[in-house]
């Protein structure tokens, strides 16, 4: 009798081990049969009454094994079936559903403006020259005809590095002029875009960091007229074919003669009055014929070569082009501001 019961329990164990329920329903049937509240294993524990004492322990252990094996198997089956149903859900893609939009980035207005300026000059043979932002005093000032004690150093409040008198954050991209002239031979025709720094109080109109584009053209017989024609071309490409320019005498240590270029902006509304200070003219850049002292500082023979140079602030151009009223917006990277430039190239 007890042998039969043993066999019966072993048979249940075999059934459990060989069961291969595949669907969710089959797993549920397995659960009801072996793990549920009315499972077939429970009554087996009652059979212990009919087992001789010396076999009771062995029988008890066997039924326990069956119970555990059923529970373990059910747990595994349940996990597998759940994972599978997740997979099938993922595979059930509705091809007719509207797509999720991919958020597109946009170029920063400074980059757009910079690229536009670079494009205009590269079309007439200028090549881009880039150089370091941490510069030494010589390239930023001395080579550019602004030796120590020169009053023009006060025009640009400088960030020096760690109390160094020698290393600084460049105050203008004119330092690239010195870098190029000391490493290349004329003819030189470069455009140097980049970031510059000045120790200035941040306000709506000025910032301690901003961008400039520098231009330099050196060859034999380069004249002031060449410069004027080049800058007129630039202004008309930048602001429209009817743009008028004027050159006002000015002073820069590195150019002689020096000038500032204005473009005619107009006086149509109140904003025009405000940004042109009531004149209709807008200052756009500084320029001039490269001072012979700058040429010889950089190892270029001033008796043979002449050249012109110019420099302009990008933020100012971007603010004009996009009618941005506060320079700080250009550095805060607020996406609500930047999103407005999505359609620009």
Binding footprint of ligand DAH on the chain (CB under 6 A): 172, 174, 214, 252, 254-255, 286-288, 309-311
- 175 vs 276, beta carbon nearer ligand DAH: 175
- 191 vs 309, beta carbon nearer ligand DAH: 309
Torsions phi, psi for 72 (to 5 deg): -65, -45
Nearest to residue 258, comparing CAs of 288, 214, 303? 288
- 193 vs 286, beta carbon nearer ligand DAH: 286
Compute the distance between CA of residue 332 and CA of residue 330 in angstroms, rounded to an integer.
6
Hey, is 204 helix, strand or coil? coil
- 16 vs 289, beta carbon nearer ligand DAH: 289
Angle formed by the axes of helices 53-91 and 2-18, nearest 10°: 10
Angle formed by the axes of helices 24-34 and 53-91, nearest 10°: 160
- 33 vs 175, beta carbon nearer ligand DAH: 175
Compute the distance between CA of residue 203 and CA of residue 329 in angstroms, rounded to an integer.
11
Least distance from ligand DAH to the Cβ atom of residue 203, Å? 18
Compute the distance between CA of residue 260 and CA of residue 250 in angstroms, rounded to an integer.
6
Least distance from ligand DAH to the Cβ atom of residue 148, Å? 18
Least distance from ligand DAH to the Cβ atom of residue 214, Å? 5
Least distance from ligand DAH to the Cβ atom of residue 164, Å? 21
H or E stretch covering 174? helix 174-181
- Taking CB atoms, the residue at the shortest distance from ligand DAH is 311
Least distance from ligand DAH to the Cβ atom of residue 334, Å? 28
Hunting for tokens 């760690």 — which residue is that?
162
H or E stretch covering 167? strand 167-169
Least distance from ligand DAH to the Cβ atom of residue 137, Å? 15
- 30 vs 252, beta carbon nearer ligand DAH: 252
Least distance from ligand DAH to the Cβ atom of residue 220, Å? 19
- 112 vs 140, beta carbon nearer ligand DAH: 140
Q: How far is CA 127 from CA 58, 120, 191, 310, in A?
A: 93, 11, 6, 15
């Amino acid at each position: 009798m007890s042998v039969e019961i043993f066999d019966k329990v072993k048979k249940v164990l075999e059934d459990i081990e060989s069961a291969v329920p595949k669907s969710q329903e089959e797993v549920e049937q397995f659960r009801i049969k072996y793990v549920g509240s009315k499972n077939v294993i429970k009554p087996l524990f009652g059979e212990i009454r009919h087992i001789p004492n010396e076999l009771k322990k062995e029988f008890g252990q066997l039924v326990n094994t069956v119970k555990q094996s059923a529970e373990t198997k059910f747990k595994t089956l349940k996990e597998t079936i759940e994972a599978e149903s997740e997979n099938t859900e993922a595979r059930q893609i509705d091809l007719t559903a509207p797509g999720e939009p991919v958020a597109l980035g946009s170029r920063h207005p400074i980059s757009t403006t910079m690229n536009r300026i670079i494009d205009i000059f590269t079309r007439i043979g200028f090549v881009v020259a880039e150089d370091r932002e941490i510069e030494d005093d010589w390239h930023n000032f001395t080579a550019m005809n602004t030796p120590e004690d020169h009053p023009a150093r006060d025009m640009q409040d400088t960030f020096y590095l760690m109390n160094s008198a020698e290393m600084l954050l460049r105050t203008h991209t004119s330092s690239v002029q010195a870098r190029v002239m000391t490493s290349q031979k004329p003819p030189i025709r470069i455009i140097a875009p980049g970031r510059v720094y000045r120790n200035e109080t941040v306000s709506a109109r000025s910032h301690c960091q901003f961008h400039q584009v520098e231009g330099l053209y050196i060859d034999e017989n380069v004249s002031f007229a060449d410069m004027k024609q080049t800058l007129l071309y630039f202004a008309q490409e930048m602001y429209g074919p009817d743009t008028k320019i004027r050159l006002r005498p000015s002073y820069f240590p590195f150019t002689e003669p020096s000038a500032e270029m204005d473009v005619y902006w107009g006086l149509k509304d109140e904003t025009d009055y405000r940004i042109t200070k009531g004149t209709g003219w807008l200052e756009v850049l500084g320029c001039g014929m490269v001072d012979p002292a700058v040429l010889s500082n950089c190892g270029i023979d001033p008796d043979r070569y002449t050249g012109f140079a110019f420099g302009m602030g990008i933020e100012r151009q971007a603010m004009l082009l996009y009618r941005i009223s506060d320079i700080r917006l250009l550095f805060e990277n607020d996406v609500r501001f930047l999103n407005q430039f999505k359609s620009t190239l």
